[in-house]
Amino acid sequence: MKSKQHPGLKWLGRIVFVLLIALSLALIFNEQIKSWLVSSYAPTVTAKSVKKNQTKKGNFDFSKVKSLDFQTVAKARMNKSSIHVIGSIAIPSIDLYLPIGNGVSNETLALAAGTLKADQTMGSGNYALAGHHMIKHGALFSPLYYKSKVGQMIYLSDMSHIYEYKTTQRSFIAATDVQVIDDVPGKKLVTLITCDKTGAGRLMIRGTYVKKWQFRQAPTQIQKSFSSHFNNKY
């Protein structure tokens, strides 16, 4: 005689089946979802919000930065208000467009480039930024690894001005070479740091200062590098 399955057990089996399917899909598309969470981050940036965020304390302890896994990115999106955006970086020749966050907290580096020193000022000293290198070639600082070359132009903006730099150096360095972010007397630089392909070393891109413009006085194409790729309001 065939026994009847209890209705509750039948529904439990269906729920477990759906959960297993969802888990399987999440594992399969983990990298794609992570890339989307990163690429779709579009904070509103204004001259007023930048000025306000510049007064907030940042976390500059790079030793506590974790690898960029799915959990870190998901947490960053849920806590995006903790990312204090103080500007943007654009390198049009390699399709790199990112907000700049104050400090190098895990939340900041999951979705933006982060400043490596406190109280940095665009257009003076050695403006140093760090960013993660992802499998997706267009996400975060990945374009630096795959496409950057000496001679390319780098632009920074605090929404009041645009600062132009020219790439003069592309080199691989040891993770312990932290002195590269120090100011160099008499020089105005931008230094961009990301991981190499192994994750053990670092790629350094360095540019020298060329000029700055009031935002609305910059060449139209350079203005569009920011206005077309960021959720900015002036």
Provide the annotated active-site residues: 132, 195
Which SS3 state, helix, strand or coil, does residue 79 take? coil
Alpha-carbon gap, residue 24 to 70, rounded angstroms:
15
DSSP label at 147? H
Strands 201-214 and 189-195: antiparallel
Q: Are residues 111 and 83 in contact, defined by beta-carbon separation less than 8 angstroms?
A: yes
Residue identified by tokens 């972010």 is 181
Alpha-carbon gap, residue 37 to 32, rounded angstroms:
9
Residue 191 forms beta bridges with which residues?
128, 206
Q: Are residues 109 and 132 in contact, defined by beta-carbon separation less than 8 angstroms?
A: yes
